Amino acid sequence: MTTDCCPAHRPLTDLDSALELLLAQAVPVTGTEPVPLIAALGRVLAEPLVSPIAVPPWDNSAMDGYAVRTADLGAEGARLRVAQRIPAGRQGQALEPGTAARIFTGAPVPAGADAVVIQEVCAACSDADGDWVQVPAGIGRGANIRRAGEDLAPGTEVIPAGTRLQPQHLGLAASVGVAQLRVYRRLRVAIFASGDELVDPGQPLGPGQIYNSNRYTMGALVAALGCEVLDLGTVPDTLEATVAALREGAAASDLILASGGVSVGEEDHVKPAVERLGTLALWQIAMRPGKPLAFGQVAGTPFIGSPGNPVSLFVTACMFARPFILRRQGVAGDIRPQALMVKAGFDWPRPDKRRELARARLGPGPDGEPEVQVHPSRSAGVLSSVTWANGLAVIAEGRVLQPGDLLPFIPFNELLR
């Protein structure tokens, strides 16, 4: 018995070890480019962002009210003449003793003032001599003043290199006056789907044909990660066509993702084709769905091949291709998706030696508390189960569950952005 003709009997590799082996090969790209902030969403920061300024740049008022000298306020408070008005965006005059400045949130605190009294505790009036305000006693020095540099001193690192930029990062960069960021160049990912039975949507289905869904799942997943997609389309089940697609992908991309043809049947040409041009390991991963996973390189370009079953492809792409892409894009730190511990709303009586990544839905249970349900179908072909789900429930190898037991749940918003 050779191992190749009997993949079912090959030893299983656990998901974590496979991911570790895979990530060890995910070399970050080196090219960088400057991009304007507005174009930086989803890009990966190539050098730390350091604030060139203090934030806030000067002492400013945290509230609408009156800027005062606390030395002017006796045990009874004080009646002060309102000598100036300082809205946000204006610079006031030095505050004369015995006067107050009407001041608004975000406006610079005038020299000499050492507190802002909120307008709600003041009584303002006007007479022939001008505007006045009655300020209560007991106002502490520094009250309602945001100090210069209180949020950030100049030179503080505000975003580390390797950060995948989200809207809040762009806001932070803008808040320190930075208009462009140096990011890693975009990753180019080639995708193709193998299978003689595949037809693109929009075409009529002939006998024995099915629509090619993986092309769209893969393409969209890769695009959502901010990669440029080199779509090589559908590849027939022949060695020559598979070799040609791999050659094209290797010449023009940073990673090749393929679906289908990774088993070792007569119609599965991915393994021999990759081996002709490079090297390949075919792992039997202890996970369900998505057992076989092909990983290798074609003329130096990494290759990840997943089974053709649409759910297997989806889960494999989320669990393996996504972290590989993130690493290769230059994302630093822990890139594992964060799982929540949630209550099972189902029972799982039969332990399995493979880890189940069950299509699952987190929502309120009968008592209103969050709980997770799993889709009744475990078939790797039922793509509608993936749109029913809002995440993957992780049922560890050998685990049985009863309703109420806690288990990890990975929301899709951890995986699909």
- Reference 174, options 36, 346, 372, 312; nearest CA is 36
| Nearest distance, CB of residue 268 and Mg ion, angstroms | 6
Q: Spell 353-369 as b/e; 16+ CB within 10 A means b.
A: ebbbbbbbbbeebeeee
Structure-block tokens of residue 12: 């299983």
The entry of Mg ion, ligand AMP, none near residue 307 (CB within 5 to 8 angstroms by kind) is ligand AMP
Reported as type and span, the H/E element at residue 201 is none
| Nearest distance, CB of residue 197 and Mg ion, angstroms | 7
- Reference 393, options 174, 417, 385; nearest CA is 385
Size of the site for ligand AMP (CB under 6 A): 17
Q: Which is nearer to ligand AMP, 261 or 330 (CB)?
A: 261
Contacts of 387 (CB under 8 A, 6+ apart): none
Q: Which is nearer to Mg ion, 261 or 337 (CB)?
A: 261
Q: Which is nearer to ligand AMP, 99 or 214 (CB)?
A: 214
| Nearest distance, CB of residue 168 and ligand AMP, angstroms | 37
Choose which of 307, 323, 345, 391 interacts with ligand AMP (CB under 6 A). 307
Helix axes 322-329, 15-24, angle to 10 degrees: 30
- Reference 327, options 302, 305, 292, 300; nearest CA is 302
- Rounded to the nearest angstrom, the gap between the alpha carbon of residue 344 and the centroid of all alpha carbons in its chain is 26
Q: Which is nearer to ligand AMP, 44 or 273 (CB)?
A: 273
Q: Which is nearer to Mg ion, 292 or 323 (CB)?
A: 292
The entry of ligand AMP, Mg ion, none near residue 105 (CB within 5 to 8 angstroms by kind) is none
HEC string of 112-168 equals CCCEEEEHHHCEEEEECCEEEEEECCCCCCCCCEECCCCCECCCCEEECCCCECCHH
Q: Which is nearer to Mg ion, 109 or 383 (CB)?
A: 383
Q: Which is nearer to ligand AMP, 374 or 383 (CB)?
A: 383
Q: Which residues bind Mg ion (CB under 5 A)?
A: 195, 260-261, 308
Whole-angstrom distance, CA of residue 41 vs CA of residue 226: 9
| Nearest distance, CB of residue 31 and ligand AMP, angstroms | 31
- Residue 209, interface with ligand AMP (CB under 6 A)? no
| Nearest distance, CB of residue 292 and ligand AMP, angstroms | 8
The entry of Mg ion, ligand AMP, none near residue 329 (CB within 5 to 8 angstroms by kind) is none
163 to 202, contacts with ligand AMP by CB under 6 A?
Answer: 193, 195, 197-198
Residue type, 213: S
Q: From residue 283 to residue 302, what is the string marking binding to ligand AMP with x (rule CB under 6 A)? A: --------------------
Q: Are 151 and 56 in contact (CB under 8 A)?
A: yes
The entry of ligand AMP, Mg ion, none near residue 193 (CB within 5 to 8 angstroms by kind) is ligand AMP
Whole-angstrom distance, CA of residue 333 vs CA of residue 192: 30
| Nearest distance, CB of residue 215 and ligand AMP, angstroms | 6
Q: Are 291 and 247 in contact (CB under 8 A)?
A: no
Whole-angstrom distance, CA of residue 195 vs CA of residue 206: 14
The entry of Mg ion, ligand AMP, none near residue 214 (CB within 5 to 8 angstroms by kind) is ligand AMP
224 to 283, contacts with ligand AMP by CB under 6 A?
Answer: 259-261, 263
- Residue 308, interface with ligand AMP (CB under 6 A)? yes
Q: Dihedrals φ, ψ of 113, to 5°?
A: -80, 140
Q: Is the peptide bond before 48 cis (omega within 30 degrees of 0)?
A: no
Choose which of 175, 213, 238, 297 interacts with ligand AMP (CB under 6 A). 213
3-state secondary structure of 275: helix
| Nearest distance, CB of residue 194 and Mg ion, angstroms | 6
Choose which of 163, 309, 329, 373 interacts with ligand AMP (CB under 6 A). 309
Binding site for ligand AMP (CB under 6 A): 193, 195, 197-198, 210, 212-215, 259-261, 263, 307-310
